[in-house]
Structure formats: structure tokens, C-alpha cells
């Protein structure tokens, strides 16, 4: 350590108060009881943080302090307690914060080394392994995702109702994004007419169950992902159990009875549903988040006549259109799972492929909705099982 640095350090100590590890620990105890208010900031580098940190600390590396501290601690009158590995970087960081206008800055003498040496508790953070860090590196660069967001995605469970035109692209991209558990319920088998749009399948799998075909593709794409398959149709015997086990539902169905049944179960278990539908050149997507926006029954209190709601097999669909809508569903799912951005709750996004135009419609909850209204009873409503899309 050179003389010039010693002088800088000496001057910093004249301006930045220092607390011992025991003093910081005592202050943390007082904060838990509501008798103290301060922000504990760890200014070490990421690899040091990964080895353990003081419970309740936030991480703002010294190299990013000037650019990130104001977002982490916007109130410059609030006390900030800094620590590093040995007490030097935190002291210098305290001097920097004072220059930035922070009025009450403290450095922990001896740093994290002194904390551990005193036998005080610390937390070992959960981190991505080396392979995951490389795979999800582009997510880690996005502040709204980062490592904690990626870990949250890996812990998330998403159920797909159908592995068809909408489920195919949505499942592929959510698997690529690292959604850790994907459930797929679909009783159909792959048909050659599916391959114009259902990109999760291929010619060699014609005749296989779609759910199993989708699992094969997902496992080849991302071995991190657990795929649960259900070779059955969604009905009253399984809908509640399945919905209760997942964090979010991707609705890729093409018939009203299933949508009503799914809607009611999602309300009962408070699970968001990302809804999508396609028809020839037109598609739409929205998010039904229970009791925050409208539910499916708010939009469609009763199903339309079958003649006005033909299935894709009857009416046809442009092959690329489900890809567009399915990817929008995947995007909305990630936003909901991470709690970022503005999901399409109370908004219906429509897309016209012929004109290349998107349009947004505002949706509102019906206070008298029999499912989500003030006196709603989603467990007792008809699903109109005798009304469905016109069969092929």
C-alpha cells in the first residue's frame, strides 16, 4: 500500500464513521424490531457475494456504485451502512456516497471477514451453475431479469392446454427461456395436417401423442426443463388438480366449454391464464388475472352459436399466425411470472395478418359476473359442454 493511498484512506476515515461487526449486528436486530431504519449495502464483487452475504443486505458492486446506488437507495437522507471484504472498499465507497449527497453513511470496519470471524450468521445465495450461466447469459444482461429472475423462471411451473398451433411456439420459447417445469395436457396424436403450423412436431412423429412429441422436442432443446405430460382431455375430473399444481396456464384451446371450465378453475385457485386464439388471418391475446382484470366470462357470458365460432379445422388458419400469437402468449407469461412490465390484464391485443396491424381493446370486469363478480360462484357454473366449435 503506497503512501498516497494511505493518505486517501486516512482522510476517508476522518469523514466516514465506522461501525464494528457487532455494532452492525446490533443495528440489524433493532431494525427487525422497528427501532432502526437503514439500508445495508454489500459493495463486493459478484463472486464474493456468491460466497455468502449478511442477511438483509442488497448488492451494489463497488464498480457500479455510482450508477446503481441512487436506484437502490433513492432517499439520500436515509442511513446507509456499507461493507466489503475487509473494510477498505466500503470506506472509499462511503466517501463517494457523501460526494453524491448521501447524508448518513457508515462503513463496517473489518468487512465481511470480520463478520464471519465473529461467528455471525450469513446467507449462502442460490446461484446458477456454470452451464446455466452460459445458456441464459443474454437474460442475465437484462436488468429486469438478471440472475434472480432467471432462478425464478427455473422455479416456475406453466401448464399448456394443448400442444397445437398456439402451444407449440409458446412451449418452445418458454422452455428456451428456462421455465423449469412445463405441463402439457393433450389427448390428440400428431397428424400431417398439423405440421403446417404446429412446429413442435415433425413428420417422423405422425401418429405419436402430441404431448409426448412436444416433450421430446423440449428435452432436446433444453435439458434443464422438466416436462409433465397428460395424455387426456381437460375435463371436470382433472381440471382443478392440474390448475392447482401450476403457477400459470397457457390457454391454447379452440372450444368454449374448455375455456369456461379453465376460467372457473383458475378463479378458484387464483391462477393467471394467458389466453390466445386464432381464426384465418386474425389472432388475439389477453391475460386473465383473477380479480385484477376481467375473466373469460366477463367477455363471453354465454358462448356464441357454433356457426359463429368454427374451429381451425373448419375455418382454416394461416400457418404462421399461431406462431405470432403463441409467442405473444409466451412473452406475457414471462412478464407475469417475473412481475415485470405491464401484462395484458384488462387489455385485448388483436392482430390482423393481412393488414399487418395490431389493435388494443380495453376490457373491464363485470361487477355482476357470475364467476368473478362480487357474488360470483365459479364452482357452480355451467360450462356449456353441449356447445362447441363446429367439428371438422
Cα distances (angstroms) measured from residue 107 to each of 13, 55, 89: 9, 17, 9
Name the residue with higher pLDDT: 3 or 93. 93
Question: What was the pLDDT predicted at 3?
Answer: 80
| pLDDT at residue 361 tops 50 | yes
Task: Indicate the pLDDT class of residue 149, thresholds 50, 70 and 90.
Answer: very high
pLDDT band at 9 (very low <50, low <70, confident <90, very high): confident
What top-level class would CATH report for the domain 156-380?
alpha beta
Convert the pLDDT of each residue in 215-239 to its tens digit: 999 999 999 999 999 999 999 999 9
Q: Grid coordinates in use for 295?
A: 375473466
pLDDT digits over 288-309, tens only? 999 999 999 999 998 877 666 6
Residue 53 carries which DSSP code? B
- CATH homologous superfamily for 3-117? Rhodanese-like domain (3.40.250.10)
Is the pLDDT score of 2 beyond 80? no
Choose among 129, 173, 170: nearest CA to 151. Answer: 129
Tell me the pairing of strands 226-230 and 273-279.
unpaired
Tell me the percentage of the chain whose pLDDT exceeds 70.
95
Question: Do residues 152 and 175 touch, judged by C-beta distance below 8 A?
Answer: no
| pLDDT at 118 > cutoff 50 | yes
Per DSSP bridges, beta strands 282-288 and 79-83 are unpaired
Task: Tell me the mean pLDDT in the region 79-102.
Answer: 96
Helix axes 65-72, 88-99, angle to 10 degrees: 70
Q: Is the pLDDT of residue 392 over 50?
A: no
Q: Helix, strand, or coil here: 390?
A: coil
> What does the pLDDT read at residue 391?
43
- Cα–Cα separations (whole angstroms), residue 318 to 47, 196, 324, 326: 49, 9, 11, 13
User: With bands split at pLDDT 50, 70 and 90, how would you rate the model's confidence at 102?
Assistant: very high
Which residues are CB-neighbours of 223 under 8 A, at least 6 positions away? none
- What is the phi/psi pair of residue 182, to 5°? -120, 125
Query: pTM of the predicted model, to two decimals?
Result: 0.82
Q: Beta strands 347-352 and 357-362: pairing type? A: antiparallel
pLDDT digit string, tens, across residues 38-90: 999 999 998 999 999 999 999 999 999 999 999 999 999 999 999 999 999 99
220 backbone dihedrals φ, ψ, rounded to 5°? -70, -30
pLDDT tops 80 at residue 384 = no
Query: What backbone torsions phi and psi does residue 273 show, to the nearest 5 degrees?
Result: -120, 125
Q: Do 3-117 and 156-380 share a fold?
A: no
Closest by CA position to 191, among listed 177, 205, 211, 170:
205
pLDDT (mean) for 376-387: 79
Which residues neighbour 30 within 8 Å (Cβ) at sequence distance 6 or greater?
Answer: 36
Domain ranges within the chain, ordered by starting residue: 3-117, 156-380
- With cut-offs at 50, 70 and 90, classify the pLDDT of residue 311: low
Report the pLDDT averaged over residues 269-296. 97
Strands of the chain (E only): list them. 18-19, 38-42, 58-59, 79-83, 105-108, 157-161, 181-185, 226-230, 248-251, 273-279, 282-288, 347-352, 357-362
- What's the pLDDT tens digit per position in 324-357? 999 999 999 999 999 999 999 999 999 999 999 9
Provide mean pLDDT across the span 128-150.
95
Amino acid at each position: 500500500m503506497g503512501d498516497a493511498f494511505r493518505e486517501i484512506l486516512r482522510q476517508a476515515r476522518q469523514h466516514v464513521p465506522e461501525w464494528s461487526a457487532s455494532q452492525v449486528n446490533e443495528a440489524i436486530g433493532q431494525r427487525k424490531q422497528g427501532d432502526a431504519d437503514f439500508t445495508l449495502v454489500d459493495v463486493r464483487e459478484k463472486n464474493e457475494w456468491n460466497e455468502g452475504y449478511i442477511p438483509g443486505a442488497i448488492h451494489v458492486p463497488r464498480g457500479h456504485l455510482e450508477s446503481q446506488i441512487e436506484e437502490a437507495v433513492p432517499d439520500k437522507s436515509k442511513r446507509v451502512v456499507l461493507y466489503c471484504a475487509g473494510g477498505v472498499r466500503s470506506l472509499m465507497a462511503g466517501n463517494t456516497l457523501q460526494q453524491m449527497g448521501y447524508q448518513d453513511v457508515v462503513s463496517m470496519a473489518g468487512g465481511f471477514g470480520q463478520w464471519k470471524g465473529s461467528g455471525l450468521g450469513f446467507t449462502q445465495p442460490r446461484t446458477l451453475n456454470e452451464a446455466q450461466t452460459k445458456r441464459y447469459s443474454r437474460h442475465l444482461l437484462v436488468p429486469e431479469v438478471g440472475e434472480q429472475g432467471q432462478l425464478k423462471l427455473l422455479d416456475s411451473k406453466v401448464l399448456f392446454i394443448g400442444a397445437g398451433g398456439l402451444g407449440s411456439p409458446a412451449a418452445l420459447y418458454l422452455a428456451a427461456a428456462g421455465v423449469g417445469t412445463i405441463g402439457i395436457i393433450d389427448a390428440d396424436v400428431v397428424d400431417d395436417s398439423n405440421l403446417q403450423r404446429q412446429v413442435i412436431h415433425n413428420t417422423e412423429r405422425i401418429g405419436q401423442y402430441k404431448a409426448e412429441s412436444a416433450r421430446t422436442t423440449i428435452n432436446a432443446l433444453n435439458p434443464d426443463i422438466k416436462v409433465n405430460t397428460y395424455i387426456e382431455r381437460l375435463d371436470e375430473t382433472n381440471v382443478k388438480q392440474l390448475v392447482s399444481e401450476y403457477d400459470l396456464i397457457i390457454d391454447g384451446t379452440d372450444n368454449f366449454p374448455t375455456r369456461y371450465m379453465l376460467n372457473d378453475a383458475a378463479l378458484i385457485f387464483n391462477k393467471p391464464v394467458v389466453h390466445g386464439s386464432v381464426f384465418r388471418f386474425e389472432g388475439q391475446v389477453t391475460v386473465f388475472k383473477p380479480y385484477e382484470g376481467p375473466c373469460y366470462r366477463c367477455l363471453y357470458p354465454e358462448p356464441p352459436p357454433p356457426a359463429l365460432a368454427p374451429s381451425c379445422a373448419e375455418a382454416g388458419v394461416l400457418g404462421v399466425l399461431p406462431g405470432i400469437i403463441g409467442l405473444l402468449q409466451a412473452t406475457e407469461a414471462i412478464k407475469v411470472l417475473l412481475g415485470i412490465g405491464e401484462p395484458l390484464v384488462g387489455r385485448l391485443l388483436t392482430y390482423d395478418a393481412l393488414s399487418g396491424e395490431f389493435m388494443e381493446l380495453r376490457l373491464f370486469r363485470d361487477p355482476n359476473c357470475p364467476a368473478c363478480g362480487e357474488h360470483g360462484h365459479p364452482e357452480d357454473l355451467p360450462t356449456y359442454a353441449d356447445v362447441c366449435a363446429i367439428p371438422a
